[in-house]
Amino acid sequence: MTQAGRLGIGIIGAGRVGPVIGAALAGAGHALTGITAGSDPDRVAAILPDVPVRDADEIVRISELVVLAVPSDQLPGIVAGLAETESWQPGQLVLHTDPGYGTSVLAPAMSRGAIPLAVHPAISFTGTSIDLRQLRAAYAAVTAPAAVLPIGQALAVELGCEPVVIAEADRAAYAEAISTASEFARSIVGQATGLLRGIGVENPGGYLSALVSSTFDRALRDVTPPEFRLPDEG
């Protein structure tokens, strides 16, 4: 470790999620060892200036915490492939950000002695610095073996999130809830803006912005127990 409690962190996945996670953890004082190449290097460089681009197996070899921020359909194969290269190290932390998996998907790394964590921040990532502000208002689902659950929770806090423990067996239901909320919101907004555009409203997204935001806020407030509401929410 670089300092007491500080980790050398490598990021595998340079899409919308990985660079933002790296920037948030770097902001908490951790050192970034590298990130894998992505399809938009300029965007990644804007979020993570001076962080070297490295191969995935090299990142695993030199990092104390490896963050896997890759699409769901790629995660099992990447974990297994890295296990075949014998890159994972005993005592190393490995964290993935996918909502649908718990820690079982990390079994190949665990077989090499790595410590598994699943932390999913519940935001819709844009891949820009805007996400860093969103993280500070978000919750994160944390799944981990009981002995290392506090590590996962602490990392969620360092991302800026409020950690919520989700059991391994409940990750599929959790992912369904996240997908339902995301897809419903996009579908309804798309339908409504299409109708407004059809009657000549030039900026339907802007027109609906305050309405949609206030409606969703009210709907969420209505299902939030009183003890969890902020003082100004009544």
Same domain, 108 and 215: no
Q: What pLDDT shows up at residue 3?
A: 47
Same domain, 108 and 180: no
Q: What pLDDT shows up at residue 214?
A: 83
pLDDT in single tens digits along all 234 residues of the chain: 344 468 999 999 999 999 999 999 999 999 999 999 998 999 999 999 999 999 999 999 999 999 999 999 999 999 999 998 888 989 999 999 999 999 999 999 999 999 999 999 999 999 999 999 999 989 999 999 999 999 999 999 999 999 999 999 999 999 999 999 888 888 989 999 999 999 999 999 999 988 888 887 788 788 878 766 655 555
Q: What pLDDT shows up at residue 172?
A: 96
Domain boundary among 166, 188, 211: 166
Asked whether residue 198 is domain-assigned, the answer is yes
Q: What pLDDT shows up at residue 232?
A: 58
Domain boundary among 166, 193, 213: 166
Domain containing 74 equals 8-166
Same domain, 64 and 160: yes
Could you please report the per-residue DSSP string of the chain? --STT--EEEEE--SSSHHHHHHHHHHTTPEEEEE---S-HHHHHHHSTTPPB--HHHHHHH-SEEEE---TTTHHHHHHHHHHTT---TT-EEEE--SS--SGGGHHHHTTTPEEEEEEE-S---SSTHHHHHHTT-EEEEE--GGGHHHHHHHHHHHTPEEEE--GGGHHHHHHHHHHHHHHHHHHHHHHHHHHHHTT-S-HHHHHHHHHHHHHHHHHHHTS-GGGS-GGG-
Domain boundary among 166, 183, 213: 166
Same domain, 26 and 108: yes
Asked whether residue 152 is domain-assigned, the answer is yes
Q: What pLDDT shows up at residue 220?
A: 79
Q: What is the pTM of this model?
A: 0.87
Q: What pLDDT shows up at residue 26?
A: 97
Same domain, 134 and 193: no
